[in-house]
Amino acid sequence: MAELNYGLSELALEIRSMMREFAQTRVKPVRAELDEKGIFPIDLLRELGKMDLMGLYIPEAYGGTFDGDSLPNIIAVEELSRVCIGVSVSFAANGLGSDPILIGGNEEQKKKYLPAIARGEKLAAYALTEPNAGSDAGSIRTTAVKKGDKYVLNGTKQWITNGGEADVYCVFAVTDKNRGARGVSCFIVEKGTPGFSFGKKENKMGIRASATRELIFEDCEVPAENLIGREGTGFIWAMKTFDVSRPGIAAQAIGLAQGALDEAVSYAKVRQQFGRPVIANQGLSWMLAEMATKIEAARALTYATVRTIDSGAKDYSKFSAMCKMYASDMAMEVTTNAVQVLGGYGYMKEYPVEKMMRDAKILQIYEGTNQIQRDIIGLALNKEYAGAAKA
């Protein structure tokens, strides 16, 4: 297949081929069952750990293989997503859950938690959302009150990916309710800590292999050393995490859409109507052409954003938001069209595209709805053109 030259490193190409084989041989045969029964893919994640693929974003000093290039991890997410984003979100949520430690954690915290996560022996989760704090993440109500050398956590987190399955949770809680977003702090909470329990597992439209649960904190005592950074810096870690994690959502979208295109083109070539394959119909081949073009455009935007982040750029929130928004809107459109290309068969569970279409919807919602992404981009434009208006 012809490919654009993205100047991928040898490592990135190696990981792409490993993940492609893994997705085809290990994930594809079980994805329908994982989806149907809502089974968390713990065996697949453990196997990825043994293959050294769970620590692609973790520096070598903490047991991973990250060498300053984030594309290998992005491409791993993309390849896994090409087959199942229920599995790929369970994989990628470890990065999301580890990022606050990577970005804001001290040496002891990094040494204590990251190596086991890199080996795939422990899973991580990121806990920000609450029943009344979604897009308005600054309005969270979970509290953390200092008591001697401990913090006492109370509150409920909602829709936490890898909830119940993860061993290490980065939990955001209010330490000073008078300071709004600046009164939020981030804590590492280990599974099994007294006072920390799980609510119901959600029954979802898509990404059904992934575990989405409530986290409940009832007088849960966390050692003060588990505070990430200083008190009041939590919101900074939360937002910085999103800036680096949003290209990962874009990667999921690109992989998912690519998988849907793979199915749609293959089907259109063999499905005969009126005595010829349906791909010979211009109306349908133009649909496929647009799907393929939009996928490549999203990939180019995402890879360029990742390279910009890796280059040490300070201001990249706008681009992270752009690639997340564009790629996920694209994935919704492409998967919907893939179902259309397969017609009645596409609507049936015997074919994978109906799952892909159900799965795609979440990409427009989680890690900041696409409306929030547009807000971020709009805000950046407003700021960037502040001087221009005067000139």
Short-list 211, 235, 228, CA closest to 133:
235
According to the binding rule CB under 8 A, does residue 121 interact with another protein? Answer: no
Q: Smallest gap, in angstroms, from Cβ of residue 228 to another protein?
A: 28
Q: Is 83 an interacting residue with respect to another protein (CB under 8 A)? A: no
Give the contact letters, 53-72, x = binds to another protein (CB under 8 A), - = no. x-----------x-------
Helix (H) or strand (E) holding 144: strand 143-147
Among 9, 13, 29, 50, binds another protein (CB under 8 A): 50
Nearest approach, Cβ of 208 to another protein (angstroms)?
24
Structure tokens at 165: 């399955």
171 - beta bridge partners?
Answer: 127, 187
**Which one of 12-20, 170-178, 269-277, 370-378 is the stretch in contact with another protein (CB under 8 A)?**
12-20
Annotation marks residue 367 as catalytic: yes
Residue 223 burial by Cβ neighbours in a 10 Å radius (0-12, 13-18, 19+): middle
Q: Which is nearer to another protein, 46 or 141 (CB)?
A: 46
Angle at 56 between CA 316 and CA 35, to 5 degrees: 95
Q: What is the DSSP string of 175-242?
A: S-GGGGGGGEEEEEEETT-TTEEEEEEP--SS-TTS-EEEEEEEEEEEEGGGEESSTT-HHHHHHHHH
Alpha-carbon gap, residue 125 to 231, rounded angstroms: 20
Contacts of 329 (CB under 8 A, 6+ apart): 364, 370
* Minimal distance, residue 256 CB to another protein, in Å: 23
Of residues 56 and 330, the one with the C-beta less far from another protein: 56
Rule CB under 8 A: is residue 288 a binding residue for another protein? no
CA–CA distance, 39 with 30 (Å, rounded to integer): 10
Q: What distance in Å separates the CA atoms of residue 22 and residue 86, rounded to the nearest whole number?
A: 15
Minimum distance from residue 52 beta carbon to another protein (Å)? 4
219 vs 293: CA distance, rounded Å: 53
Choose one: 49-57, 274-282, 290-298, 320-328; the region binding another protein (CB under 8 A). Answer: 49-57
Q: Which is nearer to another protein, 47 or 262 (CB)?
A: 47
Q: Using CB under 8 A as the criterion, what x/- string covers residues 13-32 for binding another protein?
A: -xx--x--xx--xx------
The dihedral of CA 258, 263, 268, 273: what is its sign?
Answer: negative
Choose the catalytic residue: 33, 60, 367, 384.
Answer: 367
- Residue 57 neighbours by CB distance under 10 Å: 27
Identify which of residues 36 and 67 has a Cβ nearer to another protein in the complex: 67
Closer residue to another protein (CB): 51 or 379 = 51
42 forms part of the interface with another protein (CB under 8 A): no
The answer to whether residue 158 forms part of the interface with another protein (CB under 8 A) is: no
Closest distance between another protein and the C-beta of residue 28, in Å? Answer: 14
Binding mask 336-355 for another protein (x = CB under 8 A): --------------------
Active site residues: 367
Contact set with another protein (CB under 8 A): 14-15, 18, 21-22, 25-26, 47, 50-53, 65
